Structure 1
């Protein structure tokens, strides 16, 4: 592949990662970001072995591990009875895998600092409205229809509400999901929570409360915890109208150990409402524009794969361009490389959603009594661990990656904490 002029729309994890891969491969890359100052959006996220392997390929694994918090399992209990209904442990599958909970700011800062260090051009305040094909190049236009960039290839990493994906020849239909979630990043000091687990409490499938120990945004900062509460998007106004104290009392009744976190919330503005949707852009390219991350695929967050899938997209696209003689061949290779993995995890995420976010009492009963029992019977523990890790089918080879050797990671061995069986408060509910 000759040296290309490449425009990357969006300075989120997908955009920053793909810019790093392609700039290091010798292409001329610039990032176009709509905000005047690039910044992360959201609270915490769970990095899986898939996304961590991509960061290792970029030489950023040590940095993100210094900021993140190792997660060894996902634990969920019925908020009324205290009975465990979800217990997925990474070590149920071979290989020494683990998760790493991070603040979105930590992931953003790690990638952004690397892009700045590599001298990648970033143009901010660029409100891209459309892309036009001009002979064998792609031209980006702003809302006034002025040309703002002319490239051999445009990579759309602008996220869930991408105007380029919506305006493409293969514009996908979007299915808005009924449930969203309130998120907040809070201090963990003095609170009683499992520091090695994503912990959740459920009341049937209508209520889901979660705590994710998310590490620190920068070295020297105090550790934070990402707190979330699932609810119907249509109910948000009614919940707010009932008042913050009423909302806190509901959560406190379900999970008393959340009190130290609730005490830190004094205003609705401290909570970010996340809305979720499902869509797939097929194929994930149109002319000389290619889609990665949430621009290419969206789904329920139940398996926590969003940022990890975006990083895999970035690696796969870089690999395809490095091993193809022209752009059209590379984009077709990228689509093939990601097709099976993306489709599988979109399907799995949608399948899991009703068990944790729905009005169905019957599905919740099946989850709590049947599924939780089957999940303990071999080979299910290992299969569930592979699903959570994102490795139930190999996503690495097609992206030109070799999975990181987790067993030889002394940094994580030093940081690992003993696993606590369950949050103590579950016995009090």
Structure 2
């Protein structure tokens, strides 16, 4: 087992808080650096998969999350004409399997309370702008000029738009996706969440709306938007959006009307992040800072939670840090590569200016969901259990994902 380490975690999001808590629980001295004076969640409701739920279970948070979120049994995607393009059910993997729709703010609160119950130290209002290696250790430098030393390991978990990634690993690729979304959370005025499905409606590849049950009779609504229309300060034409969205999904018209009247939309952009390696000496990247993707596969938070668990497990199993980081990288390489590639391949079929891709999706994707081999691949992709294009992890007898590092 690795001796107790001095560890810095940069970022107080899902991956950062989970990693800090698991490492602190293992006996390491952990300091979390958060740039905001009041840590807060950024983003909409999200879908926790059996993988992410397994990590919450390891943190003792799964029951609380289930009580405050909404069980999701599958994914349904249809065109504006009602043609199925996605029909997937967790029960195809195991009768007891399911996902969980949950507000990001609720997940953040649960993780934040758990972090405070650990021995980790949280420094807020401390924006880390550089990490300087000093042999086998590293120091972190804050924007206010303060330097914090020494750390045996620095865990960078500052999100898809990470400034530290650009500085510390310039060979990383992180182009902005050409499409983002606006989102809001609204009451389920049409009973859409009662079917316990994440539902989507599409018209071609330029119109996409999603409704995710997130608990307490609420839905998080997503609307696909080209990124050039998401510039800060650029107004949303709510009247035009209302007409377009209601025409796309007439059954959700009351929800659309409520969302337009409330005018509480937030904006989100995404990056396709690929690192040449997971770590550089005593600096390791996790979460969206390491492998941000579009949200089309719904895996971002789940991959970040798995990163956190795999890192803490690898450090606990080995005799020294270099071996631990190598083990962590080996365990995470296959799954992350698969989801990064799958997301990059799938996204243009739902968000692009290619009419041909929309026609191909409408003609073949719904049918593919019912082909035995493809249904298994697509179902395990949804559930987050893929380890690569040719392998996945079977769920246990209770329909749960088994963490093994």
1:56·1:404 contact (CA, 8 Å) conserved in 2? no
Superposed displacement of residue 256, structure 1: 2.1
For structure 1, which segment, 13-22 or 112-121, has the greater mean C-alpha deviation from structure 2 after superposition?
112-121
Instruction: Count how many residue pairs are aligned between Structure 1 and Structure 2.
Output: 398
What CA deviation, in whole Å up to 9, does each residue of 1:154-179 have, x standing for no partner? 11111112222111145412221111
Alignment of 1:138-149 (within 5 A): 138-149=138-149
1:93·1:381 contact (CA, 8 Å) conserved in 2? no
Task: Tell me the SS of whatever aligns to 2:168.
Answer: coil
The gaps in structure 2 that reach 5 residues or longer are none
For structure 1, which segment, 310-319 or 273-282, has the greater mean C-alpha deviation from structure 2 after superposition?
273-282
Task: Decide whether aligned partners of structure 1 residues 289 and 127 sit closer, same or farther in structure 2, where only a CA change above 3 A counts.
Answer: same
1:293·1:310 contact (CA, 8 Å) conserved in 2? yes
Superposed displacement of residue 259, structure 1: 2.8
Alignment of 1:12-411 (within 5 A): 12-79=13-80, 81-94=81-94, 96-169=96-169, 171-188=171-188, 190-195=189-194, 196-215=196-215, 222-236=216-230, 243-265=237-259, 270-393=264-387, 405-407=397-399
Aligned equivalents of 1:101, 1:213: Cα separation in 2? 6
Superposed displacement of residue 118, structure 1: 2.1
Task: Decide whether aligned partners of structure 1 residues 335 and 238 sit closer, same or farther in structure 2, where only a CA change above 3 A counts.
Answer: closer
Q: Paired residue for 1:10?
A: 11
TM-score, structure 1 as length reference: 0.87
Root-mean-square deviation (Å): 2.5
Task: Decide whether aligned partners of structure 1 residues 361 and 239 sit closer, same or farther in structure 2, where only a CA change above 3 A counts.
Answer: farther
Aligned equivalents of 1:353, 1:283: Cα separation in 2? 24
Q: Paired residue for 1:414?
A: none
Task: Decide whether aligned partners of structure 1 residues 239 and 374 sit closer, same or farther in structure 2, where only a CA change above 3 A counts.
Answer: farther
The gaps in structure 1 that reach 5 residues or longer are 216-221, 410-429
1:244·1:268 contact (CA, 8 Å) conserved in 2? no
Superposed displacement of residue 266, structure 1: 5.2
Task: Decide whether aligned partners of structure 1 residues 238 and 82 sit closer, same or farther in structure 2, where only a CA change above 3 A counts.
Answer: farther
Q: Paired residue for 1:415?
A: none
Superposed displacement of residue 226, structure 1: 0.3
TM-score, structure 2 as length reference: 0.92
